[in-house]
Structure 1
Amino acid sequence: MSVNRPKSVAGILIPDSTIASQATELLLEHGTEFIYNHSLRVFLFSSLNAKRNNLEHDSELLYVASVFHDLGLVPHYSSPDLRFEVDGANAARDFLKSHGIAKDKLQLVWDTIALHTTIGIAEHKENEVALMYSGVGLDVMGEGYETLSAANREEIISYFPRNDFKKKIIPTFFGGFEHKTETTFGNIKADVCSYMIPNFHRKNFCDCILHSPWSE
């Protein structure tokens, strides 16, 4: 895999501690170049949002969360029956636990990854959770695009190119949970299944209520 590994981009230092470096190696070993570039952009966008809004945060933990946030999509970390966000969160927690990281920080990183697609909740959590949610939203859907300067945008893309991102990201998502589409019930990834599977039948919450075993 041929990727760029700069020390800083757009005025943001990219963590290079032992933990950060080992996390990067896991991403390079088990991920793809496409996911690597996306993950690094997410970290940089999140960090720029923190800088713009003067939000205190743990840069190393935010970086590790960014590195692991989509690793639940790849075969090495994908479970047969959990949401891919939970798979990534579990993998990051196990990794950090092996480094003796405190329990509260383990939970923070777990939440940051597990909630990164949860609209309406993540943005109200701790700074790290809200920041990565904002970075993912910016890269995937362009949320907050107007707050990103052209200079920063061009520099980030030069190091971590999008490479036809709009066309590739939906199949990349789907490839991570096509064997467990039931995990998309109640979350936005059901939209991916609907897009990728002809006549996909979504599980419906109201049907679950009306067809429950209760007699009334």
Structure 2
Amino acid sequence: MRYADIVVPETPATRAALEVATAYCSPALLNHSVRAYLWAAAYAAMNDIAFDAELLYVSSMLHDLGLVREFDSHTVPFEEAGGHLAWVFCAAAGWPVERRVRASEVIVRHMWDEVDVEKDPEGHLLELSTGLDISGRGPEAFPEALRTEILERHPRLGIADEFVACFEDQARRKPTSLAGRFVHNGFAARVAANVLDR
């Protein structure tokens, strides 16, 4: 598997999702969102997992917008805020209600410990790819040359420190959220040990 083999969908919705992410995310968070899609699509190709590329790409670009100042919610966890944002974005993109709900589900589920690939391949792939990119979970599933090329094209730019700070802030304000649970269970140490930052 090579970087050139990863299919990136080109649709009005994917172009708009990238535009939104570029406008609101820090450079490090934007690159994380792009890598989240790339790891997910590469893993799917290597493991024969059929998935909806447009749905996964849009969800990848929007999945962490609940962490940014403009969309941060003081009432719901960031992944739920991101899911609501995705529903609104997808409505504007003309997606039917069922597809809007799917984008929201994929974003909410990326924080789960595990997502059943049979029931939700896009949610499974985004949960897996973000786990790799932030916590360093499962790098052996990707050829070293592919990891190197993705990181060269979309460098990490200090995402580890930025993400830990975001999660610690979420945990302070929303201690019962999944981000709060992550922080309580040693999230910072896992992120610091991520092999992608070596």
Q: Residue 124 and residue 188 in structure 1: after superposition, are their counterparts in 2 closer, same or farther (change >3 A)?
A: farther
Q: Residue 30 and residue 162 in structure 1: after superposition, are their counterparts in 2 closer, same or farther (change >3 A)?
A: same
1:81-100 CA deviation, whole Å, 9 max, x = no partner? Answer: 11100111111110001122
- What are the residue-to-residue correspondences of 1:152-171 with 2, within 5 Å? 152-171=146-165
- What are the residue-to-residue correspondences of 1:192-211 with 2, within 5 Å? 192=183
In 2, Cα distance between equivalents of 1:162 and 1:103:
35
Count of residue pairs the alignment pairs up:
186
Task: Extract unaligned runs of 5+ from structure 2.
Answer: 188-198
CA contact (8 A) 2:28 2:158 kept: no
Aligned to 1:40: 34
**Percentage of pairs with the same residue:** 27
Q: Is residue 131 of structure 1 aligned with residue 140 of structure 2? A: no
Q: Is residue 181 of structure 1 aligned with residue 173 of structure 2? A: yes
Q: Greater Rg, structure 1 or structure 2?
A: 1
TM-score, normalised with respect to structure 2: 0.84
Aligned to 2:68: 74
Pick one of 100, 105, 110 that aligns with 2:99: 105
CA contact (8 A) 1:89 1:109 kept: yes
SS of the equivalent of 2:178 reads: coil
Q: Aligned AA for 1:100? A: G
CA contact (8 A) 1:15 1:60 kept: yes
- Report the aligned-residue RMSD: 2.3
SS of the equivalent of 1:151 reads: helix
Range with bigger deviation, 80-89 or 102-111: 102-111
Aligned to 2:88: 94
Q: Is residue 15 of structure 1 aligned with residue 9 of structure 2? A: yes
1:134-163 CA deviation, whole Å, 9 max, x = no partner? Answer: 111111122220011111101100111112
CA contact (8 A) 1:181 1:193 kept: no
How far has the Cα of 1:37 moved from its partner?
0.5
CA contact (8 A) 1:10 1:156 kept: no
SS of the equivalent of 1:13 reads: coil
Q: Residue 168 and residue 75 in structure 1: after superposition, are their counterparts in 2 closer, same or farther (change >3 A)?
A: closer
How far has the Cα of 1:10 moved from its partner?
4.3
Q: Aligned AA for 1:160? A: H
CA contact (8 A) 1:62 1:128 kept: yes
CA contact (8 A) 2:36 2:133 kept: yes
Q: Residue 124 and residue 56 in structure 1: after superposition, are their counterparts in 2 closer, same or farther (change >3 A)?
A: closer
